[in-house]
């Protein structure tokens, strides 16, 4: 089994790559963080895995085509796409610039269309699966994340569209919606505050389970959805959020 994993150099994508390699999947990893991706490649190879890397941006159609070519020439087939590359930026509909809007929509959403278009012909042959990394912010929203939340809502729409268009070929597409996950993205966001520790504690407390997720907990779900164990699940958005969106904020008995 061979899969393409984007955003693989760190965070959730790295966890998906490591778990997939441990499961014996052959991997083509995409990221623009060259040094980190090369380090991960060495680690996977040292542990007996089979991996190729593509350095570049997921917005670039040539990168997607190259990933498909490399997967086919090295492994002969493509069984799945795990799309995790993404960025978090801040601003409301009034404060978001055109540049920032385009950056977020291109990297978080248009990339998913570009990658899907490149891999779908191969997934049709293998009855493969796509897992898109959305967010709880694809289902609800917060202040000052207009572009990000729009990109993640759009990603869920694209996932459902692919699920329906390609169900006749037994290709499945699902989205994963994490709450806060302890990754470089979250750490960088928290570091923007004057009181990072306090913000981290608040973020953890927002989740009924009282903490943020580990990237490996999200990778578990991704690998399940990519696998044949999820053979009747398609067009779904699965939360992995420690109960975050299940709870109605505030309570009449709160102090």
Ligand X SMILES: NC(=O)c1ccc[n+]([C@@H]2O[C@H](COP(=O)([O-])OP(=O)(O)OC[C@H]3O[C@@H](n4cnc5c(N)ncnc54)[C@H](O)[C@@H]3O)[C@@H](O)[C@H]2O)c1
- Footprint of ligand X on residues 5-44 (CB under 6 A)? 7, 9-13, 31-33
Rounded to whole angstroms, how far apart are CA atoms 219 and 6? 13
Could you tell me the two tokens for 164?
């329906």
Q: Which stretch binds ligand X (CB under 6 A): 45-53, 69-77, 83-91, 219-227?
A: 83-91
Considering the rule CB under 6 A, would residue 58 count as an interface residue with ligand X?
yes
In the set 78, 108, 148, 242, the catalytic residue is 148
Considering the rule CB under 6 A, would residue 53 count as an interface residue with ligand X?
no
For the bound state, the minimum distance from the C-beta of residue 144 to ligand X, rounded and expressed in Å, comes to 15
CB atoms within 10 A of CB 114: 20
Asked about 90 being catalytic, the answer comes back as no
For the bound state, the minimum distance from the C-beta of residue 84 to ligand X, rounded and expressed in Å, comes to 4
- Burial 178-202, CB ≥16 within 10 A → b, else e: bbbbbbebbeebbeeeeeeeeebee
Choose among 184, 25, 69: nearest CA to 17.
Answer: 25
- Footprint of ligand X on residues 155-214 (CB under 6 A)? 178, 180-181, 183-186
Could you tell me the two tokens for 4?
């393409």
- Footprint of ligand X on residues 87-116 (CB under 6 A)? 87, 107
For the bound state, the minimum distance from the C-beta of residue 125 to ligand X, rounded and expressed in Å, comes to 26
For the bound state, the minimum distance from the C-beta of residue 143 to ligand X, rounded and expressed in Å, comes to 16
- Alpha-helical regions (H) of the chain: 11-22, 34-46, 61-75, 98-105, 111-126, 146-166, 184-191, 196-206, 215-226
- Reduced to 3 DSSP states, what percent helix, strand and coil does the chain have, rounded to the nearest 5? 50, 15, 30
Looking at the Cβ atoms of 1 and 132, the one nearer to ligand X is 132
Considering the rule CB under 6 A, would residue 225 count as an interface residue with ligand X?
no
DSSP 21: H
Looking at the Cβ atoms of 126 and 144, the one nearer to ligand X is 144
Rounded to whole angstroms, how far apart are CA atoms 103 and 147? 9
Looking at the Cβ atoms of 30 and 78, the one nearer to ligand X is 30
| Residues recognised as catalytic | 148
| Chain positions contacting ligand X, by CB under 6 A | 7, 9-13, 31-33, 57-59, 84-87, 107, 133, 135, 178, 180-181, 183-186
């Amino acid at each position: 089994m061979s899969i393409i994993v984007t955003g693989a150099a760190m965070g959730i994508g790295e966890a998906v790559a490591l778990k997939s390699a441990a499961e014996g999947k052959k991997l083509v990893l995409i990221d623009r963080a060259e040094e980190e991706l090369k380090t991960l490649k060495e680690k996977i190879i040292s542990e007996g895995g089979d991996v190729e890397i593509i350095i570049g941006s997921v917005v670039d159609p040539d990168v997607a085509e190259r990933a498909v070519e490399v997967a086919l020439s090295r492994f002969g087939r493509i069984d799945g796409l795990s799309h995790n590359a993404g960025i978090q930026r801040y601003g409301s509909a009034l404060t978001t610039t055109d540049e920032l809007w385009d950056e977020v929509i291109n990297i978080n959403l248009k990339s998913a269309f570009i990658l899907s278009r490149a891999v779908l012909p191969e997934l049709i042959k293998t009855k493969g699966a796509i897992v898109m990394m959305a967010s709880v912010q694809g289902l609800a929203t917060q202040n000052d994340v207009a572009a990000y939340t729009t990109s993640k809502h759009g990603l869920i729409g694209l996932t459902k569209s692919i699920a329906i268009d390609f169900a006749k070929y037994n290709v499945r597409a699902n989205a994963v919606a994490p709450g806060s996950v302890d990754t470089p993205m979250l750490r960088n966001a928290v570091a923007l505050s004057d009181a990072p520790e306090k913000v981290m504690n608040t973020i953890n407390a927002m989740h009924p389970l009282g903490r943020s997720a580990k990237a490996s907990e999200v990778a578990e779900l991704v690998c399940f959805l990519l696998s044949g164990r999820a053979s009747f699940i398609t067009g779904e958005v699965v939360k992995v959020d420690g109960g975050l969106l299940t709870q109605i904020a505030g309570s009449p008995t709160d102090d």
